[in-house]
């Protein structure tokens, strides 16, 4: 067998998913170099196995043992690669921790990622669901990425159009992205940085801190403080961040809902549709802090499901289905799940 392919059989994944669900992978490989992917393709046994690409494990629900070869993305490296008009171009290996990378860019004097500080997960997973928080999405600071195509064995450079970014969505969640492994991501960070304080809660927190002209590091520190206050630390309470996407409905549908529920939280979108706050809908149905078995709804944020200790994937799924049914019955709105069920 190729020396780079140190496959571990029957590998426990509990420490590698932030929900902390106990499950085993049939086989496991830590991926530190793109050359391993070429070696994997050339191996007649391994290339015929189903594959599961694992990043920080912060957006998955394991519903049983994983009958696949788990490729654990651990490709490292952070470099300023150049400039285009008005931006520094910064490249980062897909296996780097996202928050560590954000803090590294700030230490280089580069702003742009601070609103997305403390989002769990890896840099390589960030484009898959176009991560976002406090008014910034990955696509706003994205330049390009390198993906290894397992089907052809080629490295591809993909720009934003090729990635087809949407709200918590990209080609990597669709059929067109099958077999593409994100090896590194390049960001375009503004040389003339300005804070993005369009998200009301963040703007208020900056004012409360008495900062008229915050630095990018100060904005990052405030985002970290807000997240620590509202969201559970996966190292303490297992969770996968927001469990549902905020549903997008037509303007007419929103008007219908507002007539019946005047306090409905909604945000107008540029195309005339309205994004509803899933956390509010779930909260109004009385789910905040409730439990089903060892799975529960986080008491401070109804959009986050938690593992209160020893929860199985099936318990988490049962809780999610019960919430979807209640919200559907009361509001006629379908809540789409955000994490990937495996
Ligand atoms: N709300 C409630 N009850 C709750 C939770 C929220 O009434 O239990 C209300 C809030 O009062 C607020 C509204 O719902 O009026 C929205 O809540 P919040 O500002 O906390 O944001 P969110 O819509 O719940 C989204 C993202 C988060 C991101 C925050 C901040 C999604 C699915 N979630 O949450 O992203 O950090 O905005 O930008 O888009 C994630 O994707 O994993 C994630 C954590």
Instruction: Give me the residues paired with residue 211 across strands.
Output: none
Q: Distance, CA 332 to ligand 1 centroid (Å)?
A: 20
- Count of beta carbons in the 10 Å neighbourhood of residue 153: 11
Enzyme catalytic residues: 168, 242, 338
pLDDT given at position 4: 81
- Please determine, for residue 313, whether its predicted confidence score (pLDDT) is greater than 50: yes
Choose one of 118, 125, 133, 298 to mutate for the ligand 1 pocket test, by most ligand atoms within 8 angstroms of C-beta. Answer: 133
Q: What is the pLDDT of residues 35-55, one digit of tens each?
A: 999 999 999 999 999 999 999
- pTM of the predicted protein model: 0.93
- Count of beta carbons in the 10 Å neighbourhood of residue 317: 16
Query: In this structure, are residues 183 and 92 in contact, taking their beta carbons and an 8 Å threshold?
Result: no
Distance spanning both ends of the chain, measured CA to CA: 28
Choose one of 289, 303, 323 to mutate for the ligand 1 pocket test, by most ligand atoms within 8 angstroms of C-beta. Answer: 303
Residue ranges with strand state E in the chain: 8-12, 24-31, 51-54, 60-61, 66-73, 78-84, 87-93, 132-133, 136-137, 142-149, 154-159, 180-190, 238-242, 248-249, 266-268, 274-276, 291-292, 295-297, 304-307, 340-341
Q: Distance, CA 219 to ligand 1 centroid (Å)?
A: 18
Question: Token digits for 151?
Answer: 């089907």
Query: Domain residue spans in the chain?
Result: 8-73, 78-190, 238-341
CATH, range 238-341: 3.90.78.10
Architecture of the 78-190 domain:
2-Layer Sandwich (3.30)
List residues near ligand 1 (CB under 6 A). Answer: 133-134, 201, 241-242, 245-246, 265, 277, 279-280, 283, 288, 301-303, 338
The protein residue with its alpha carbon nearest to ligand 1, atom 28, reads 133
Q: What is the pLDDT of residues 264-297, one digit of tens each?
A: 999 999 999 999 999 999 999 999 999 999 999 9
Q: Distance, CA 238 to ligand 1 centroid (Å)?
A: 18
Backbone angles phi, psi at 317, to 5 degrees: -65, -40
Architecture of the 8-73 domain:
2-Layer Sandwich (3.30)
pLDDT given at position 179: 92
> If you average pLDDT over residues 310-329, what whole number do you get?
97
Backbone angles phi, psi at 45, to 5 degrees: -80, -50
| Sheet of 295-297, strand order | 238-242, 304-307, 295-297, 291-292
Same fold, 78-190 and 238-341: no
Q: Distance, CA 67 to ligand 1 centroid (Å)?
A: 34
Query: In this structure, are residues 92 and 138 in contact, taking their beta carbons and an 8 Å threshold?
Result: no
Determine what percent of the chain is predicted with pLDDT higher than 90.
96
CA distance 114 to 99: 9
Q: What is the pLDDT of residues 97-137, one digit of tens each?
A: 999 999 999 999 999 999 999 999 999 999 999 999 999 99
């Amino acid at each position: 067998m190729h020396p780079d392919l140190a496959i571990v059989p029957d590998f426990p994944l509990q420490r590698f998913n932030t929900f902390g669900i106990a499950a085993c992978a049939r086989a496991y490989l830590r991926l530190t170099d793109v050359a391993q992917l070429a070696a994997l393709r050339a191996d007649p046994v391994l290339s015929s196995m189903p594959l599961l690409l694992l990043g920080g494990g912060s957006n998955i629900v394991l519903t049983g043992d994983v009958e696949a070869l788990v490729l654990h993305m651990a490709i490292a490296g952070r470099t300023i690669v150049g400039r285009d008009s008005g931006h520094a171009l910064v490249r980062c290996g897909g296996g780097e921790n996202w928050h560590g990378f954000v803090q590294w860019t700030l230490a280089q004097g580069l702003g742009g990622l601070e609103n997305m500080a403390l989002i769990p997960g890896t840099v390589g997973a960030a484009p898959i669901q176009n991560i976002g928080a406090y008014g910034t999405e990955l696509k706003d600071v994205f330049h390009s990425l390198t993906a290894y195509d397992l089907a052809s064995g080629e490295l591809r450079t993909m720009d934003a159009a090729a990635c087809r970014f949407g709200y918590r969505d990209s080609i990597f969640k669709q059929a067109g992205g099958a077999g593409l492994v994100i090896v590194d991501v390049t960001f375009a960070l503004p040389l003339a940085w300005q804070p993005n304080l369009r998200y009301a809660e963040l703007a208020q927190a900056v004012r409360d801190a008495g900062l008229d002209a915050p630095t990018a590091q100060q904005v990052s520190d405030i985002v970290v403080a807000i997240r620590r206050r509202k969201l559970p630390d996966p190292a303490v309470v297992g969770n996968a961040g927001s469990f549902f996407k905020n549903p997008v409905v037509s303007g007419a549908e929103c008007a219908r809902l507002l007539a019946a529920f005047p306090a409905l939280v909604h945000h107008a979108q540029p195309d005339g549709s309205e994004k509803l706050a899933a956390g509010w809908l779930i909260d109004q149905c009385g789910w905040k802090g409730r439990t089903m078995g060892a799975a529960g709804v986080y008491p401070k944020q109804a959009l986050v499901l938690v593992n209160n200790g020893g929860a199985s994937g099936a318990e988490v799924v049962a809780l999610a289905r019960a919430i979807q049914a209640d919200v559907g019955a009361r509001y006629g709105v379908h809540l789409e799940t955000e994490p990937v069920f495996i």
